[in-house]
Amino acid sequence: MTAPQRLVEDGVRQYGRFTGRVADTNPVDAHRGLSRLWRQFRLKEWIGFALIHPEMSGAMIMQDVKYLASSELFVRDQTTGVLVEKNARFRGGSLGLPDDLLHGGRCQVTTRRYLLEYHFDADTGTVAVRIDCAADKHGPAITGALTLYVQGAAPALSISARLTSSIDYYTFKQPFPVDGTLTVGDRTYAFERARDFAILDEHRSQFPYATTWTWGTFAVRMAGGVVGSNFVDRTEFSDDDDESANWIPGAVEPLAGVQFDFDSDDPLSTAHVLDRDRRLEVTFTPAGRKAVKANLVAAAIDYWQLAGTYRGTVTSVAGESFAFDDVPGVLERMKTRF
């Protein structure tokens, strides 16, 4: 479906798989009075990027779950295995993440020692990312200036779905070519637009109080174009609601029935990922791990994300297979009450 201008039009929430990002993604516009206040309090939203580069793995995020807001980023060097992580905490509901992201949306979180900023510029078709995090007891400073390009991006994964009468979500995922530099201590990584990606992950959702998911993503430029995948195992999803999809040159194709099979309970266990139709068959080899645990009595988060590499195949609906090896990517698991 063509993406509507607004996620909620004349008080009615729009659902479907869209060909692009919805311009205005505020889901609480479908409600009034006390219902609107409750929906606003229960809204979980984040905007993040996974960085795909042959010499490092990394990710960054701004997230607001209303009882807590935070931002995290990490960079892991592929050669040394050193992982440097930065984070900042804020009052819940304070981030003000923009509803209209791609048309001049600006997101910024800042403290005395931590700055992360995204600026989406519709006129130039670019996204500017700025990072300035001071050295601390956890590791050296991380600074950077990256430019993401709409031109050359993979097709958008854009879906609005209702899971129950009170639970729905909107998500937008897209790999953007990226250039610029990222510096960790005395090591600078140069990003090349023809090779490297930043995969946007935007989410605005009403979640169950207790929920668990396992998710991963990667992208690589091949001879015909961008090949990659976004895949998740969540018990709430039906086939129609599932955000899992493969990127193949010129298209994004939905998946369903994704399963993760870990070799062991080791925190750095290899994982095998397969969808029901075997259009995604990959093995993930982790090399670094970051974790977040918080217990606030009524709310709790038990989360980890792995940096590593994928090998395997992505197959189109038409039967064309794309094989790859040693492609950087991430895999995460979330168990939460919120």
**Using H for helix, E for strand and C for coil, what is the string for the chain?**
CCCCCECEECCEECCEEECCCCCECCHHHHCCHHHHHHHHHHEEEEEEEEEEECCEEEEEEEEECCCCEEEEEEEEECCCCCEEEEEEEECCCCCCCCCCCCCCCEEEEECCCEEEEEEEECCCCEEEEEEEECCECCECCEEEEEEEECCCCCCCEEEEEECCCCCEEEEEEEEEEEEEEEEECCEEEEECCCCCEEEEEEEEEECCCEEEEEEEEEEEEECCEEEEEEEEEECCCCCCCCCCEEEECCEEEECCCCEEEECCCCCCCCEEEECCCCCEEEEEEEEEEEEEEEECCCCEEEEEEEEEEEEEEEECCCCCEEEEEEEEEEEEEEEEEC
pLDDT-derived band of residue 297, with 50, 70 and 90 as boundaries?
A: low
Q: Give the tens place of pLDDT for each residue, 31-78.
A: 999 999 999 988 999 999 999 999 998 999 999 988 889 999 999 998
Q: Domain residues of the chain, as ranges?
A: 8-337
Name the pLDDT band for 296 (thresholds 50, 70, 90): low
CATH topology of domain 8-337: AttH-like fold (2.40.370)
pTM of the model: 0.94
C-alpha angle with apex 81: 80 to 84, nearest 5 degrees?
A: 110
| pLDDT for 294 beyond 80 | no
- pLDDT for the residue 28: 93
Q: What is the pLDDT confidence band of residue 298, given thresholds at 50, 70 and 90?
A: low
pLDDT category at 323 given cuts 50, 70, 90 is very high
* Mean pLDDT of the 289-317 span: 85
Residues 164-183: tens digit of each pLDDT: 877 899 999 999 999 999 99
Overall average pLDDT of the 84-88 stretch:
94
Look at residue 303 in the predicted model and tell me its pLDDT.
87
